[in-house]
């Protein structure tokens, strides 16, 4: 009896000791793991242990907030999964993957990982071919090994399950705390203030660099909500409408010339990543890669567009050009095509339709990409010719050739009985450029470049040469045409030439440190040229934002400007360049933030954009009601419906081959 009692005591003692040890291990893990995780995330996001350690030493309070955020994520997953070690592994997998994406995305296009990037779905997979090389794979392998090691700890760490009510209570607590920090509750705001959090919305690289990945990502969740501008309402929009009325000097539609009363075909061609590589100062070329563009820069209206993007985000440039709206008033890194264009939005397409035109979009890639199938309908296009609607197209490299797009434009104009507005987007010269897609490149480069950098630049230059030739193909055709036609040709953004702007640095285009305003302007400036087969005034435009281009071209054609484009045209004359982190005035002075003199006009612009995208369309109460409230066309894309039905299997096979 006594022996049995002693045995029971020993067993209870050992169980109690084991339970205490398990509790101690669990508590230690819950406390220490988020700190180690925060250090790991910052190391991945910043690139080196040294950079992470220096940031932590300089910003211990900010580091603590990042660790606190990760602790709530870890606690929630622990309560959800019920097992400590797998929860740590899942937390590390999620956080390290997000940090890797942010690191690669920043190095490639200068933007970190945002909350709304999660919405990109299939578009996000297009970054995978761009992430290559031994250094990149080494980073991925190290992270994978750490995560796997965490999961394997399950074999030696004892399992400790929380009681169900405890799990429920702690899980709710974690969610409430995360929600409060993301929603910036009063308690969270006090915590942020004491820690010295300083959000830099207009420069997200600096925002993530100063605050740390977890905190900056969390702060941006609130930024995804578009807030109503202070003072917005019918009265404020009435003031904007009166301003537009006072400034509008063209009362009605005008024809292109007294001799020709026909409306001109208006063709916008946004050529993928088109830029002038001869601007690289320390590189020479065996021949001029873009002679057509260089000739037009001397003979016709031309200049430089200030793009809101670098290396990617084509749809955001389309958004600015087609709607006259500015990415400057939307969260950095957002994608309006994915997030905001879910109802009819007044655009150049709906405007030209109202003038008796046929508005057509042409893009030599999948229609689902960037949600164009739906967006173009909401923009008022009558038809959209995407990749699956091309009949046996010519390919160069992995994509349909630029020449094929030019031939498609010609065919569309020739087949239409009405004048046409065409917005064409090419795909041939999409990055990355380390694939030797053309075999032997026609143009050789010479300069102090590594063989890898030279190969990237030669491949890109070959594509730019083909783009230039595709423009000449259009010019050759319409020079012989009796239909008045104007072509506006430009790129969407500078190309991503190597990892971390490598080719630009080697070629002396930018320095290796933080960009100056002049360097920022250079890295966002793409050439545009205008050609027509009738007389148009010639003008050199040193800077014009994409959001101002539509109004500018309508004015050049002496066409009546709809209200929103009339506003942007006037703003262009005062502040021709507008990015979230760069404003250029009429004298070409540059500012990192809007100068005081510009704020009243920019506030009106912000209110006007909010009214048309998110607000009540008060502007339609005063001006252009038919245009501003125009619905999507009922027969959108009907011309392609028989072709879609008959060629669906072939289109599916083609997608599988790309």
pLDDT tens, position by position, 183-193: 888 888 888 88
Tell me the HSE value of 266 on the side-chain side, using a 13 A CA sphere.
Answer: 24
Q: Tell how far CA 496 is from the center of its chain.
A: 13
The rounded mean pLDDT for the chain is 86
Give the burial class of 312: count Cβ atoms within 10 A of its Cβ; 0-12 exposed, 13-18 middle, 19 or more buried: buried
pLDDT at 597: 94
Range in 80-89, 119-128, 151-160, 566-575 with the lowest mean pLDDT: 119-128
DSSP 3-state of 284:
strand
pLDDT beyond 80 at 647: no
Tell me 243's DSSP state: H
Mean pLDDT on 246-261? 48
* DSSP output for 504-565: HHHTTSS-SSSPPHHHHHHTTEEEEEEEESS-----EEEEEEHHHHHHHHHHHTTPPPPHHH
How would you classify the pairing of strands 540-545 and 302-306? Answer: parallel
Mean pLDDT on 134-141? 73
Mean pLDDT on 90-110? 83
The answer to whether the bond into 432 is cis (omega within 30° of 0) is yes
* Gap between the Cα atoms of 4 and 564, Å rounded: 90
281: left (phi over 0), alpha (psi -120 to 50) or beta: alpha
- What does the block give as tokens for 343? 């109802």
How would you classify the pairing of strands 525-532 and 302-306? Answer: antiparallel
Residue 373 · residue 367 · CB < 8 Å: yes
Element holding 315 (H helix, E strand)? helix 314-323
Range in 175-184, 379-388, 518-527, 649-658 with the lowest mean pLDDT: 649-658
Structural domains in the chain, CATH included, are 2-223 (no CATH), 234-657 (3.40.720.10)
pLDDT at 569: 95
Residue 187, Cβ neighbours under 10 Å: how many? Answer: 11
Say which residues have a Cβ less than 8 Å from residue 476's Cβ, sequence separation at least 6: none
pLDDT beyond 80 at 496: yes
Range in 115-124, 517-526, 583-592 with the lowest mean pLDDT: 115-124
Residue 499 · residue 316 · CB < 8 Å: no
What is the C-alpha end-to-end distance of the chain, expressed in Å?
79
Residue 330 · residue 308 · CB < 8 Å: no
pLDDT at 252: 39
Bridge partner list, 395? 400
DSSP 3-state of 218:
helix
Range in 244-248, 424-428, 503-507, 532-536 with the lowest mean pLDDT: 244-248
Residue 382 · residue 360 · CB < 8 Å: yes
Q: Where residue 3 falls among pLDDT bands split at 50, 70, 90? A: low
Element holding 216 (H helix, E strand)? helix 213-223
* DSSP output for 351-414: HHHHTTPEEEEEESS-TTGGGHHHHHHHTT-SEEE-GGGSSS--EETTEE-HHHHHHHHHHHHH
pLDDT at 430: 92
Residue 595 · residue 211 · CB < 8 Å: no
Residue 552, Cβ neighbours under 10 Å: how many? Answer: 25
Question: Which of 35, 21, 103 lies closest to 65, judged by CA?
Answer: 35
* Gap between the Cα atoms of 615 and 348, Å rounded: 20
pLDDT beyond 50 at 651: no
Residue 571 · residue 565 · CB < 8 Å: no
* Gap between the Cα atoms of 431 and 502, Å rounded: 14
DSSP 3-state of 260:
coil
- What does the block give as tokens for 288? 């001029």
DSSP 3-state of 603:
helix
* H helix and E strand count, the chain: 24, 15
pLDDT at 256: 37
pTM for the structure as a whole: 0.78
* Gap between the Cα atoms of 601 and 609, Å rounded: 12
* Gap between the Cα atoms of 297 and 277, Å rounded: 15
* DSSP output for 472-507: HHHHHHHHT-SS-EEEEEEESS----SGGGHHHHHT
As a whole-number percent, the residues of the chain with pLDDT over 90 amount to 55
Question: Which of 242, 229, 227, 212 lies closest to 95, judged by CA?
Answer: 212
For 6-57, how does the pLDDT look when each residue is reduced to its tens digit (9 = 90+)? 545 555 545 454 455 555 556 666 678 888 888 988 998 888 889 889 988 9
Q: What ranges make up the beta strands (E) of 125-275?
A: 265-271
- What does the block give as tokens for 96? 């390290």
541 vs 250, residue with greater confidence: 541
Residue 305 · residue 177 · CB < 8 Å: no
């Amino acid at each position: 009896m006594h022996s049995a009692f002693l045995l029971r005591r020993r067993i209870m003692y050992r169980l109690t000791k084991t339970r205490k040890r398990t509790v101690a291990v669990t508590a230690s893990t819950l406390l220490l793991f988020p700190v180690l995780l925060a250090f790991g995330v910052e190391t991945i996001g910043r690139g080196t242990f040294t950079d992470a350690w220096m940031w932590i030493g300089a910003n211990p309070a900010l580091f603590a907030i990042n660790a606190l955020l990760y602790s709530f994520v870890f606690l929630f997953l622990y309560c959800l999964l019920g097992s400590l070690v797998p929860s740590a592994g899942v937390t590390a997998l999620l956080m390290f993957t997000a940090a890797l994406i942010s690191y690669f995305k920043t190095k490639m296009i200068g933007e970190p990982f945002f909350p709304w990037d999660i919405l990109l779905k299939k578009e996000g997979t297009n970054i995978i071919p761009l992430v290559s090389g031994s250094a990149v794979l080494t980073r991925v392998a190290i992270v994978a090994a750490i995560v796997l090691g965490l999961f394997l700890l399950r074999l030696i760490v004892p399992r400790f399950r929380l009681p169900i009510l405890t799990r429920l209570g702690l899980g709710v607590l974690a969610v409430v705390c995360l929600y409060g920090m993301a929603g910036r509750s009063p308690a969270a705001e006090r915590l942020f203030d004491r820690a010295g959090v300083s959000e830099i919305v207009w420069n997200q690289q600096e925002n993530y660099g100063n605050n740390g990945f977890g905190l900056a990502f969390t702060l941006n969740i609130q930024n995804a909500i578009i807030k109503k501008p202070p003072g917005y309402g019918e009265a404020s929009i009435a003031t904007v409408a009166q301003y537009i009325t006072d400034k509008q000097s063209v009362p009605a539609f005008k024809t292109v010339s007294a001799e020709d009363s026909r409306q001109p075909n208006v063709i916008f061609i946004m050529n993928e990543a088109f830029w002038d590589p001869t601007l690289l100062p320390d590189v020479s070329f065996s021949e001029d890669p873009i002679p057509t563009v260089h000739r037009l820069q001397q003979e016709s209206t031309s200049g430089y567009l200030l793009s809101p993007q670098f290396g990617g985000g084509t749809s955001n440039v389309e958004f600015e050009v087609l709607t006259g709206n500015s990415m400057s008033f939307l969260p950095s890194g957002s994608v309006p095509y994915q997030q905001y264009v879910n109802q009819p939005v007044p655009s150049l397409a709906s405007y030209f339709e109202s003038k008796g035109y046929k508005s057509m979009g042409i893009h030599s890639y999948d229609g689902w990409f960037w949600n164009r199938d739906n967006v173009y309908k909401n923009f008022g296009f009558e038809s959209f010719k995407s990749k699956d609607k091309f009949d046996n197209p010519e390919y160069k490299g992995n994509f349909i050739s630029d020449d094929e797009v030019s031939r498609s434009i010609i065919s569309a104009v020739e087949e239409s009985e009405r004048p046409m507005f065409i917005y064409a987007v090419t795909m041939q010269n999409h990055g990355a450029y380390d694939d030797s897609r053309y075999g032997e490149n026609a143009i050789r480069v010479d300069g102090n470049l590594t063989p890898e950098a030279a190969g990237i630049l030669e491949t890109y230059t070959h594509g730019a040469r083909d783009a230039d030739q595709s423009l000449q193909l259009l010019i050759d055709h319409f020079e012989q045409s009796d239909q008045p036609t104007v072509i506006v040709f430009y790129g969407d953004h500078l190309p991503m030439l190597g990892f971390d702007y490598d080719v630009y640095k080697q070629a002396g285009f930018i320095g290796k440190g933080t960009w100056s305003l002049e360097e920022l302007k250079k890295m966002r400036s793409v050439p545009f040229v205008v050609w027509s087969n009738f007389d148009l005034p010639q003008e050199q435009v040193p800077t014009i934002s994409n959001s101002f281009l539509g109004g500018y071209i309508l004015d050049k054609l002496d066409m009546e400007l709809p209200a929103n484009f009339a506003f942007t045209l006037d703003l262009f004359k005062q502040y021709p360049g507008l990015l979230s982190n760069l404003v250029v005035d009429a004298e070409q002075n540059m500012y990192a933030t809007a100068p005081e003199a510009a704020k009243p006009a920019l506030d009106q612009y912000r209110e006007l954009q909010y009214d048309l995208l998110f607000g009540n369309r008060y502007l339609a109460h005063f001006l252009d009601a038919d245009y501003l409230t125009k619905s999507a066309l009922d027969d959108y894309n009907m011309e392609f419906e028989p072709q879609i039905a008959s060629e669906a299997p072939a289109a599916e096979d083609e997608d599988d081959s790309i």
